[in-house]
Amino acid sequence: MDRALYLAMSGGKQVMHAQTIRANNLANVNTTGFRADFEQARAMPVYGEHFASRVYAMTENPATRYEAGALIQTDRSLDVAMKSDGFIAVLDAQGAEAYTRSGDLQITANGQLVNGSGLPIMGARGPIFLPPINEISIGEDGTISIVPEGGTAAEMATIGQIKLVNPDTQLIEKGTDGLIRAKTGVPFEQNLTAQLKSGFLESSNVSAVEELTKIMSLSRQFEMNIKVMDTVRNNGNASARILQRNA
């Protein structure tokens, strides 16, 4: 029997991986600050002393799409969106620095500034803690100014700055928890030109039309692989019949 069956099977299996990546993008079509993933297939030839027809497929996701999503106005002073390229620095579950575009900030019971997933926001000099406040405003460069509790607007004080970074997208990757990290593991320096906008959140950058189209085309691709498997089976049946007649 021709081993082409296994080639078609590998094709179909890899298309299912690709389909999963696209489905994940679409599932996150409303996730604040989500960055869509790409998928691509690579030819993986098997070399050896045989006719060079064994080329298996392999799906991989070479990169994440870092272009900006749309800004959604929320009018909440603790909602921030990146206006320029770049990321907000947070601390991940292990306490290491990671980056995100999701800026739905909150203040915890002990006054720490965290994002919507509860990750501490990194300031220029470590995590940010706030005293009890009357009012808070976050400037375009991430500067946090507050009116302390019982104070008046004239007593506005600057108490910290959110660390913003703007690394080359070649140097970053998405981790298994969805946070962006430096490939080298060394935190990036604060970027003074990166800009925030308070009162806004950034939407997911998933293009729904593109993802749906891709899912349709992957479905057809999958069916073609199955069709090849069907053809291989028919070939097998035909040769079995011929051999029967000769018997």
Continuous segment of H or E residues that includes residue 36: none
The residue within the footprint of other proteins, chosen from 125, 189, 230, 240 (CB under 8 A), is: 230
Segment 170-209, which members bind other proteins (CB under 8 A)?
173-178, 208
Question: What mask, x for binding other proteins by CB under 8 A, covers residues 41 to 60?
Answer: ---x-------------xxx
> How far apart are alpha carbons 198 and 137 in whole angstroms?
8
Choices 84-92, 184-192, 218-226, 236-244; region in contact with other proteins by CB under 8 A: 218-226
The residue within the footprint of other proteins, chosen from 4, 17, 159, 207 (CB under 8 A), is: 17
Choices 26-34, 82-90, 185-193, 235-243; region in contact with other proteins by CB under 8 A: 26-34
Which tokens sit at 245?
Answer: 């007649």
Residue type, 146: I
Q: In this structure, how many other beta carbons lie within 10 angstroms of the beta carbon of residue 157?
A: 12
- Whose CA is closest to 76, among 107, 52, 30? 107
> How far apart are alpha carbons 143 and 125 in whole angstroms?
12
> How far apart are alpha carbons 61 and 68 in whole angstroms?
19
Choices 18-26, 88-96, 162-170, 187-195; region in contact with other proteins by CB under 8 A: 18-26
- Whose CA is closest to 128, among 144, 139, 109? 144
Segment 61-90, which members bind other proteins (CB under 8 A)?
61-63, 74-76
- Cβ distance to other proteins smaller for residue 125 or 220: 220
Segment 96-135, which members bind other proteins (CB under 8 A)?
104, 106-111, 116-117, 132-135
Segment 128-157, which members bind other proteins (CB under 8 A)?
132-135, 147, 149-150
Which tokens sit at 227?
Answer: 């069709």
Report whether 69 contacts 208 (CB < 8 A): no
Report whether 150 contacts 156 (CB < 8 A): no
- Cβ distance to other proteins smaller for residue 122 or 146: 146
Q: Please, what is the minimum distance in Å from the beta carbon of residue 16 to other proteins?
A: 6
Backbone angles phi, psi at 28, to 5 degrees: -100, 25
Sites of contact with other proteins (CB under 8 A): 16-17, 19-32, 34, 37, 44, 58-63, 74-76, 104, 106-111, 116-117, 132-135, 147, 149-150, 173-178, 208, 211-212, 215-216, 219, 222-223, 226-227, 229-230, 233
